[in-house]
Chain A
Amino acid sequence: LAKTTQPISMDSYEGQEVNITCSHNNIATNDYITWYQQFPSQGPRFIIQGYKTKVTNEVASLFIPADRKSSTLSLPRVSLSDTAVYYCLVGYTGRRALTFGSGTRLQVQP
């Protein structure tokens, strides 16, 4: 199983760009990298997924270097509502279990 390492917590201010990095040194060839957001008392919510280079959607960007041993979730111009825990998940379906890391608690201040 590809294990992941993320910072435990981060602080930011409204309007700033936030970058959260996840390390996954033993990522396998078939593994994808997926990020989730979780608010208190709710299940995690899918944010973005990628395999290599850069992926962008309406809420975030995901940067993956060529060696794929890390990835960076970028949240542009965060607001108070972006305060949440962010999880990096590495894996693929089939017959492999998908596990979550410990997550990064992002606190956005006014």
Chain B
Amino acid sequence: NAGVTQTPKFQVLKTGQSMTLQCAQDMNHEYMSWYRQDPGMGLRLIHYSVGAGITDQGEVPNGYNVSRSTTEDFPLRLLSAAPSQTSVYFCASLGDRGYGYTFGSGTRLTVV
């Protein structure tokens, strides 16, 4: 099915570990973004990309890196995990105007 696929769905990390959250979309969308959502809170933009090879920072980029080597993939890297990064992470892509974002199902990350 067409859409945004995120892996893994759940992850537990120890403080200081690094990892990559994967995001892939098969809709040929140019715009992709990563959000984090803390319990009971809204979504905050981490990084976004308007096309392959182009990325930029959002509201809360510290501690995260991204790259966009292909249109389909937009991985999010945690450089050195901290308990403050415990959150649910959503990847989203945006296609033609009028149809809004398509979100992935999220990755629930716990840093201990």
Contact = CB atoms under 8 A, between A and B. Distances in A.
A46 B100 contact: yes
B43 A44 contact: yes
Contact of B42 (A45, A92, A95, A103): A103
Interface string A1-40: 0000000000000000000000000000000101010000
B13 interface: no
A45 B98 CA distance: 13
B50 A94 contact: yes
A80 interface: no
Nearest to A35: B100
Given A43-B106, A44-B101, A87 B42 contact: yes
A72 interface: no
Given A42-B105, A43-B92, A43-B106, A100 B43 contact: yes
Interface of B: 30-31, 33, 35, 41-45, 48, 50, 56, 58-59, 90, 92, 94, 97-106
